[in-house]
Amino acid sequence: MLVEGPVDLVTPDGDRVCSDRFMVAVCTCRRSKNYPLCDTSHRRKTRAPDSD
């Protein structure tokens, strides 16, 4: 989700994340290693092995 910045986010466990960028990508899938900020982990796909 893209949000106009700057933003000040508070995670469920109470951590505070601040970003002063003009546009901030916030993770909504919870796959990001940089949660609550998006690192595009939702785009990564693993290919199933070909069965021949």
pLDDT at 46 > cutoff 70: no
**pTM for this structure?**
0.68
pLDDT at 31 > cutoff 90: no
CA dist 51 and 14 (Å) reads 46
CA dist 7 and 31 (Å) reads 20
Question: Is residue 1 classed as helix, strand or coil in its secondary structure?
Answer: coil
Residue spans per domain, the chain:
2-41
Q: Tell me what pLDDT residue 11 has.
A: 86
CB 26 within 8 A of CB 36: yes
* Averaged pLDDT, 4-23: 92
